[in-house]
């Protein structure tokens, strides 16, 4: 189900990227035993681990490092320049005046990157973060039970009531809060005071469905809350009858932050995180993959990884919190396999499209020739011994949907956290595309005065016969993961800042998630590089 704004063609809430209930994830190991009905007596016998795999941050060659610096810098400039001066908040896209709080979450995380890379000074970044947080905190009509409405007026910070559906969105708030806590860890002081207060006041339990369709679904977080009258945000409304119940990257981020709530009365029970359903599939020789039949968009594999450092957590253990019939999953390996599936399917290119290929891969959510565009690629279902249909995994299956093969550069680009060589090859390919007179087709360089910030949102050689279609916009929730993923692949900066927040540490302990990363970012290191 997709709900769109007729003005922009974008989903009214990024939760609807994924459909109504869930998302995709992946596993590894014991694939032949499961697929062929071998010696695995239950789904719990499947461990998803890759203990010998190299993990980010990666060491790049000087040439690749310089290239990534160029891409990162151009992308950062969107979050620095394309903002409302009154609130400091980044626009949802270059063609719109509206603000998405999800985009602001990426923006707040971008500020420490800009400082550490020397593109802005600490004073500049601190002033911008403070303006944004004061604007968010000062406009109380922009949230319900402490969670934010998806779209805000960029000049006032108030919730929008005209032209866009007014919904308090849990995933867009989660993306915002991830950035708020990242900025809190980095800047401290008044920024931390305001940001921490916003997070502490979020009542995740107010977004539980009061009467879920099935009893076992009680206590999961709904996609959002809608007022009966968008002009009376303090009046009655309804919790949407769709919840995050599958273990996709967005589902886990929402639930993870709910578990991290400092107020126990507002908190999601930690076992809910492990009760998120894990449906198994496989493709080629990648091993088992947990997947979500309502969305095979690649972003569903990496959004949460922009902040949660799964690369250094190893396989989780649902049984530690008393949750049965769940495979143990190394979520970094999980997403590595999903990214590789997308790449291999692009190489296969069964429809013979002109756009996908070895260096143009990663289908999903982006602008498209006819409006907002969500393509889907899925693994093949495999048996799940001992698991309960509906309770432990969704029974539905889905087929691949290539649409017109539109490619958004951020998909392969953000996969640099899992597959650096393939991601860089894809970005270099997108960078190389030129028109008949030698101008970049997709890459537009760094020209804030012309509102050009690196890669345009998407492109296709199939959408218009005989022509190259190139998106006209830059989009915050697509630029954001590209920027954060590249920085994490290079330094782990955002992972370190997010993980260092005391409430994130406390929530991780409740979930028995141990992070093993040495030599992470130290905000107190006097030798670190900052802007001047």
CA 71 to chain centre: 19
348 is a domain residue? yes
pLDDT value of residue 32 = 27
Please say whether the beta carbons of 141 and 161 come within 8 A: no
Q: Which 3 state secondary structure label does DSSP give 328? A: strand
pLDDT tier for residue 517 given thresholds of 50, 70 and 90: confident
282 is a domain residue? yes
Q: Which residues have CB under 8 Å from 240's CB, separation 6+?
A: 167, 222, 223, 224, 225, 226
Please say whether the beta carbons of 312 and 57 come within 8 A: no
214 is a domain residue? yes
Q: What is the mean pLDDT of residues 312-334?
A: 94
pLDDT tier for residue 21 given thresholds of 50, 70 and 90: very low
Q: Which of 17-31, 181-195, 224-238 has the lowest mean pLDDT?
A: 17-31
521 is a domain residue? no
Residue with tokens 């990666």: 58
Is the pLDDT at 28 greater than 90, yes or no? no
Please say whether the beta carbons of 429 and 442 come within 8 A: no
Q: In what order do the strands lie in the sheet with 168-169?
A: 168-169, 224-227, 237-239
User: In this structure, how many other beta carbons lie within 10 angstroms of the beta carbon of residue 294?
Assistant: 21
Q: Which of 192-201, 227-236, 522-531 has the lowest mean pLDDT?
A: 522-531
Total-model pTM? 0.92
| Residue-range definition of the domain harbouring residue 504 | 21-39+51-510
pLDDT value of residue 19 = 36
What gap in Å lies between CA 218 and CA 228, rounded to an integer?
A: 23
- pLDDT tens, residue by residue, 250-278: 999 999 999 999 999 999 999 999 999 99
Q: What is the mean pLDDT of residues 422-430?
A: 98
Is the pLDDT at 168 greater than 60, yes or no? yes
325 is a domain residue? yes
Q: Which residues have CB under 8 Å from 197's CB, separation 6+?
A: 137
pLDDT value of residue 520 = 66
More confidently predicted of 330 and 19: 330
Q: Which two tokens stand for residue 191?
A: 């920024």
519 is a domain residue? no
Is the pLDDT at 230 greater than 70, yes or no? yes
Is the pLDDT at 526 greater than 50, yes or no? no
520 is a domain residue? no
Q: Which residues have CB under 8 Å from 463's CB, separation 6+?
A: 368, 369, 370, 404, 406, 469
Is the pLDDT at 443 greater than 50, yes or no? yes
121 is a domain residue? yes
* E strand intervals along 347-451: 365-368, 371-374, 380-381, 443-447
Is the pLDDT at 11 greater than 60, yes or no? no
Number of domains in the chain: 1
pLDDT value of residue 439 = 95
User: In this structure, how many other beta carbons lie within 10 angstroms of the beta carbon of residue 397?
Assistant: 12
Is the pLDDT at 48 greater than 80, yes or no? no
**What are the C-alpha distances in Å from 240 to residues 223, 225, 343?**
6, 6, 35
CATH of residue 72's domain is: 1.50.10.140
pLDDT value of residue 140 = 82
């Amino acid at each position: 189900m997709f709900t769109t704004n007729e003005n922009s063609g974008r989903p009214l809430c990024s939760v609807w990227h994924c459909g109504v209930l869930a998302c995709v994830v992946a596993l590894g190991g014991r694939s032949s035993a499961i697929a062929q009905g071998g010696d695995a007596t239950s789904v719990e016998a499947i461990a998803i681990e890759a203990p010998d795999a190299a993990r980010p941050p990666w060491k790049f060659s000087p040439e690749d490092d310089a290239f990534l610096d160029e891409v990162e810098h151009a992308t950062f400039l969107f979050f620095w320049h394309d903002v409302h001066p009154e609130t400091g908040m980044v626009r949802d896209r270059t063609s719109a005046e509206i603000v998405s709080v999800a985009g602001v979450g990426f923006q707040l995380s971008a500020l420490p990157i800009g400082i550490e890379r020397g593109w802005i000074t600490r004073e500049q970044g601190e002033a911008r973060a403070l303006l944004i947080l004061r604007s968010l905190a000062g406009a109380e009509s922009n949230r319900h039970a402490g969670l934010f409405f998806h779209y805000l007026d960029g000049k006032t910070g108030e919730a929008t009531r005209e032209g866009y559906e007014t919904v308090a969105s849990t995933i867009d708030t989660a993306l915002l809060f991830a950035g708020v806590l990242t900025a809190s860890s980095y800047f401290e002081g008044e920024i931390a005071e305001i940001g921490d207060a916003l997070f502490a006041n979020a009542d995740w339990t107010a977004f539980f469905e009061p009467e879920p369709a099935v009893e076992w679904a009680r206590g999961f977080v709904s996609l959002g809350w809608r007022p009966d009258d968008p002009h009376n945000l303090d009046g009655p409304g309804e919790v949407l009858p769709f919840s995050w119940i599958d273990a996709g990257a967005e589902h886990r981020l929402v639930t993870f932050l709910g578990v991290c709530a400092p107020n126990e009365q507002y908190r999601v029970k930690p076992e809910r995180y492990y009760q998120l359903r894990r449906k198994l599939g496989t493709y080629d020789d990648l091993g088992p993959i947990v997947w979500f039949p309502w969305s095979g968009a690649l972003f569903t594999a990496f959004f949460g990884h922009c902040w949660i450092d799964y690369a250094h957590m190893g396989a989780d253990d649902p049984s530690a919190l008393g949750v049965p019939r769940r495979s143990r999953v190394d979520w970094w390996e999980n997403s590595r396999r999903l990214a590789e599936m997308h790449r291999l399917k692009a190489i296969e290119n069964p429809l013979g499209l002109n756009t996908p290929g070895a260096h143009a891969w990663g289908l999903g959510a982006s602008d498209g020739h006819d409006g907002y565009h969500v393509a889907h690629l899925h693994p093949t279902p495999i048996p799940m011994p001992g698991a309960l249909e509906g309770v432990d995994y969704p029974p539905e299956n889905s087929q691949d949907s290539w649409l017109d093969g539109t490619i958004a550069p951020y998909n392969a680009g953000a996969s640099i956290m899992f597959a650096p060589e393939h991601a860089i090859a894809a970005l270099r390919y997108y960078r190389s595309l030129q028109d008949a007179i030698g101008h970049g087709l997709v890459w537009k360089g760094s020209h804030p005065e012309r509102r050009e910030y690196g890669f345009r949102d998407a492109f296709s050689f199939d959408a218009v016969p005989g022509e190259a279609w190139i998106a006209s916009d830059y989009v915050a929730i697509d630029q954001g993961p590209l920027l954060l993923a590249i920085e994490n692949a290079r330094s782990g900066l955002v992972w370190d800042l997010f993980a260092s927040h005391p409430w994130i540490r406390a929530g991780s302990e409740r979930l028995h998630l141990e992070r093993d990363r040495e030599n992470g970012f130290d905000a107190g290191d006097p030798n670190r590089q900052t802007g001047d």
